[in-house]
C-alpha cells in the first residue's frame, strides 16, 4: 500500500511543475508514494496549515518561512525548490515605464506577508517610492497569476512567475518591469520544508519524496520537449507559450534541491534588518 504524501504549496506556477511531472512520470509511485498537491494561496497561509498539521511537507518562500519559524513553527528546511535565485518578475501594463511610475497605481501581490510583499516594499524603497503611502498594494489570493487582473480598474502592475509572464507577453497585456534577482543577487528564495513530526516519525518517507522530486527536476532538464508538452496540459497553455516560459529560466533552475547557504544567510540578514524576524537564524538551525 502506498504512503500518501500531501504536499502543500502556496501558488500555482512553474515552480510546482516538478511535482506534476514527477507524478506523471511515476517517480513518486515507484517509491511507493501517492502524491497529492494541495494549495493554500500564500506562504503565511501555508505556514498556518503546517502548524495545524494539515500538511507536513511543502514548499514556500524563505521569508514567510522565517517569519513563521520565529513565531514557533515546528518545521525545518529540507531542500531548495527549483526557483532558488529569484527569477521572479514584476510586470506591468505596457504603458508603465519604471518603478517610479507606480506612484498612485495598484500593484498586485499574492498575500500580505508573502514573498511578494517583502520584495515589492524593498524594490519600491530602492526606487524612492513609499509603499505605504504612494502605492495601493492589492492581495490577489486565488486570482494570483490571472492575466485578466492586469486591466484598468484592477491592477496596474504585479508579480508574476512563469508560465504567466510568457502568457501575458504573448497577449500583449504585460511587459517585464523589473526582475527581483537584480535587487537580491545572492539569495535563497524557494524552500521545501517538513514538519518536525514527519522528520522524526518517518524520515524514510521524507527521503523518498525528495529523491522523487530531484529525479523529476533532472528529467525536465534532460527532456524539455516532453516536459513542455505535458506542462502545456497542466497549465492549459499552448505548447509554445509553456516552452518559452520553461526555457527562459531553465538554465538557472536548482535541479538537486541544494540550499544556497550564503543566499540563505543573506535572506535571514535582510529579514532581520527589516524587522520581519526578531533575530537571525543560522543555516544549521534552519536545515535538516
Q: DSSP string spanning 28-80?
A: TGGGTEEEEEEE-SSHHHHHHHHHTTS-SEEEEEHHHHHHHHHTT--EEEEEE
pLDDT band at 193, cuts 50/70/90? Answer: very high
pLDDT band at 271, cuts 50/70/90? Answer: confident
| C-alpha dihedral sign at 123, 126, 129, 133 | positive
pLDDT at 141: 83
Residue 148 burial (10 A CB sphere; 0-12, 13-18, 19+): exposed
pLDDT band at 145, cuts 50/70/90? Answer: confident
Retrieve residue 138's grid coordinates.
Answer: 492589492
Q: Parallel, antiparallel, or unpaired for β 89-92 and 136-139? A: unpaired
**Interval 55-76 mean pLDDT:** 94
**Higher pLDDT, residue 145 or 78:** 78
What are the pLDDT digits (tens) for 7-51? 999 988 899 999 999 999 999 999 999 999 999 988 889 999 999
**Higher pLDDT, residue 205 or 88:** 205
What are the pLDDT digits (tens) for 81-96? 999 888 889 999 999 9
- Integer-rounded Cα Rg, in Å, for the chain is 18
In this predicted structure, the answer to whether residue 213 has a pLDDT above a threshold of 90 is yes
In this predicted structure, the answer to whether residue 169 has a pLDDT above a threshold of 90 is yes
Which distant-in-sequence residues (6+ apart) come within 8 Å of 248 by Cβ? 87, 162, 165, 166
For the question of whether the overall pTM of this predicted structure is more than 0.95, the answer is no
Residue 128 burial (10 A CB sphere; 0-12, 13-18, 19+): exposed
In this predicted structure, the answer to whether residue 274 has a pLDDT above a threshold of 80 is no
In this predicted structure, the answer to whether residue 67 has a pLDDT above a threshold of 80 is yes
Which distant-in-sequence residues (6+ apart) come within 8 Å of 164 by Cβ? 13, 145, 147, 245
Yes or no: say if 80 and 129 are a contact pair by the CB < 8 Å rule.
no
pLDDT band at 236, cuts 50/70/90? Answer: very high
- Whole-angstrom distance, CA of residue 83 vs CA of residue 61: 10
| DSSP-based three-state secondary structure for 89 | strand
**What mean pLDDT value characterizes the chain?**
93
Which distant-in-sequence residues (6+ apart) come within 8 Å of 128 by Cβ? 100
In this predicted structure, the answer to whether residue 225 has a pLDDT above a threshold of 90 is yes
Look at 57-66, 109-118, 184-193 and tell me which has the smallest mean pLDDT.
109-118
pLDDT at 96: 94
- Whole-angstrom distance, CA of residue 173 vs CA of residue 278: 40
With CA atoms as reference, report the closest residue to 221 among 197, 250, 249: 250
- Whole-angstrom distance, CA of residue 236 vs CA of residue 126: 37
What is the four-CA torsion angle of 52, 58, 61, 67, rounded to 10 degrees? 20
pLDDT at 214: 98
Q: What is the DSSP string of 92-119?
A: E-TT--SGGGGTT-EEEESSTTSHHHHH
pLDDT at 165: 94
What are the pLDDT digits (tens) for 148-168? 899 888 999 998 889 999 999
Retrieve residue 116's grid coordinates.
Answer: 511578494
In this predicted structure, the answer to whether residue 130 has a pLDDT above a threshold of 80 is yes
Sheet containing 190-195: give its strands across: 33-39, 3-9, 57-61, 190-195, 75-80
| Residue 206 CA neighbour count, 13 Å, CB half | 22
Amino acid at each position: 500500500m502506498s504512503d500518501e504524501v500531501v504536499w502543500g504549496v502556496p501558488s500555482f506556477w512553474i515552480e510546482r511543475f516538478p511535482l506534476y511531472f514527477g507524478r506523471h512520470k511515476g517517480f513518486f509511485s515507484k517509491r511507493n508514494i501517492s502524491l497529492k498537491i494541495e494549495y493554500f494561496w500564500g506562504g503565511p497561509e501555508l505556514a498556518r496549515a503546517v502548524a495545524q498539521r494539515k500538511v507536513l511537507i511543502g514548499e514556500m518562500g524563505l521569508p514567510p518561512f522565517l517569519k513563521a519559524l520565529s513565531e514557533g513553527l515546528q518545521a525545518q528546511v529540507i531542500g531548495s525548490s527549483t526557483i532558488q535565485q529569484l527569477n521572479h518578475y514584476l510586470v506591468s501594463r505596457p504603458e508603465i515605464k519604471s518603478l517610479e511610475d507606480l506612484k498612485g497605481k495598484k500593484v498586485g501581490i499574492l498575500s500580505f506577508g508573502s514573498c511578494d510583499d517583502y520584495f515589492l516594499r524593498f524594490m519600491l524603497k530602492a526606487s524612492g517610492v513609499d509603499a505605504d503611502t504612494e502605492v495601493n498594494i492589492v492581495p490577489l489570493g486565488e486570482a494570483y497569476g490571472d492575466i485578466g487582473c492586469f486591466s484598468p480598474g484592477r491592477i496596474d502592475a504585479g508579480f508574476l512567475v512563469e508560465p504567466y509572464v510568457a502568457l501575458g507577453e504573448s497577449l500583449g497585456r504585460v511587459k517585464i518591469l523589473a526582475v527581483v534577482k537584480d535587487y537580491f543577487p545572492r539569495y535563497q528564495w524557494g524552500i521545501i520544508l517538513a514538519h518536525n513530526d514527519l522528520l522524526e516519525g518517518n524520515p524514510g518517507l521524507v527521503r523518498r519524496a525528495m529523491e522523487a522530486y530531484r529525479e523529476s527536476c533532472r528529467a525536465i532538464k534532460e527532456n524539455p520537449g516532453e516536459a513542455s508538452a505535458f506542462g502545456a496540459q497542466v497549465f492549459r497553455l499552448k505548447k509554445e507559450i509553456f516552452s518559452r516560459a520553461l526555457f527562459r529560466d531553465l538554465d538557472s533552475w536548482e535541479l538537486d534541491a541544494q540550499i544556497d547557504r550564503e543566499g540563505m544567510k543573506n535572506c535571514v540578514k535582510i529579514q532581520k534588518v527589516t524587522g520581519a524576524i526578531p533575530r537571525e537564524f543560522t543555516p544549521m538551525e534552519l536545515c535538516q
